[in-house]
Homo-oligomer: A and B are copies of this chain.
Amino acid sequence: MAPPFFAIVSGVGAGTGASVARRFAQSYPVVLLARKPSSYEPIVAAIKAAGGTAIGISADATDPAAVDAAFAQIEKELPGSKLAAAVYNGGSGTGRKSFLEQTLADLDLSLDSAANGLFYFAQKSIPLLLAAVDSSPHPPSLLVTGATASLRGSAFFSTFAAGKFAQRALTQSLAREFGPKGVHVALAVIDGVIDIPRTQGYVVNNGVDDGKISPDAIAESYWHLHTQHRSAFTQELDIRPFVEKF
């Protein structure tokens, strides 16, 4: 019998993470990681209600010990399962602020969440993805959520950009090292405001319909990345609303 496969989504809240988890749950049991149970519980419930399998685990992605513990728990809960897809959402900013008002804490927040968090996550998930190369229905994938700030610095978001740039460097490096071993590592550069409860009040792109990014649409692109044939991997793609200036 073929081994069962599963997916992990780190950084699950109301947006991209939730949509990606639901999308991948159509094909795999999904493990959801978030700091607080309240972040993953509704999604776990929704996936189960739709007939899928979902496990929520509380873990602070910026705490190596917590990430270790989460992966240990996964092994216990899904014994013998292989990892088909790992998705990392993370990168916290501190809001618009002059560089001179930013503190070391602002820089640390960004680097920890975008770079160190991905580092720990990849350290734990890459070996599992490598172990799935020969049997996974699609090339085992590590998918990372980037932002406009992954590609350009910005006057008032300097430390946020630092973290997202560092994250992109890791993603590119991982693609170059593990692509040839069969693991698909890709970055999605999300260039726009995502349409989630927290952004409901934001007026962007003059309030036009579909001027905010549907997280479910993002999830479709992640699923496409995951299912690309290994002769045709995409390493980086941008995602933005049709009306967004760029």
**Contacts of A227 on B, CB cut-off 8 Å?**
220
- Smallest CB–CB gap between A16 and chain B, Å? 11
- A233–B190 Cα distance when bound, in Å, is 10
**Contacts of A158 on B, CB cut-off 8 Å?**
169-170, 173-174, 177
Extra A-B contacts (9), CB below 8 Å, given A154-B173, A155-B173: A104-B119, A119-B162, A154-B172, A176-B245, A195-B231, A214-B232, A217-B229, A217-B232, A235-B240
Integer count of this chain's copies in the complex: 4
Partner of A213, one of B123, B159, B180, B232: B232
Partner of A172, one of B161, B229, B239: B161
Q: Let me know if B165 and A169 touch, CB within 8 A.
A: yes
Residue contacts A-B, CB under 8 angstroms, 11 given: A104-B119, A107-B116, A155-B176, A155-B177, A162-B173, A176-B245, A213-B231, A214-B232, A232-B239, A232-B240, A237-B238
Interface size on A, residues (CB 8 A): 81
- A152 contacts the other chain (Cβ, under 8 Å)? yes
- A153 contacts the other chain (Cβ, under 8 Å)? yes
Q: Let me know if B170 and A161 touch, CB within 8 A.
A: yes
Partner of A153, one of B64, B102, B119, B171: B171
Q: Let me know if B221 and A221 touch, CB within 8 A.
A: no
- A100–B183 Cα distance when bound, in Å, is 14
- Smallest CB–CB gap between A178 and chain B, Å? 8
Q: Let me know if A242 and B180 touch, CB within 8 A.
A: yes
B-facing mask of A202-224, CB < 8 A → 1, else 0?
Answer: 00000000111110111011001
**Contacts of A100 on B, CB cut-off 8 Å?**
123, 126-127
**Contacts of A235 on B, CB cut-off 8 Å?**
238, 240, 246
Chain B, Cβ-Cβ closest to A244: B179
- A22 contacts the other chain (Cβ, under 8 Å)? no
Chain B, Cβ-Cβ closest to A110: B166
- A98 contacts the other chain (Cβ, under 8 Å)? yes
- A26–B178 Cα distance when bound, in Å, is 34
Q: Let me know if A210 and B238 touch, CB within 8 A.
A: no
- Smallest CB–CB gap between A96 and chain B, Å? 11
**Contacts of A172 on B, CB cut-off 8 Å?**
152-154, 161
**Contacts of A161 on B, CB cut-off 8 Å?**
169-170, 172-173
**Contacts of A17 on B, CB cut-off 8 Å?**
none
B-facing mask of A130-166, CB < 8 A → 1, else 0?
Answer: 0000000001000000000100111111110111111
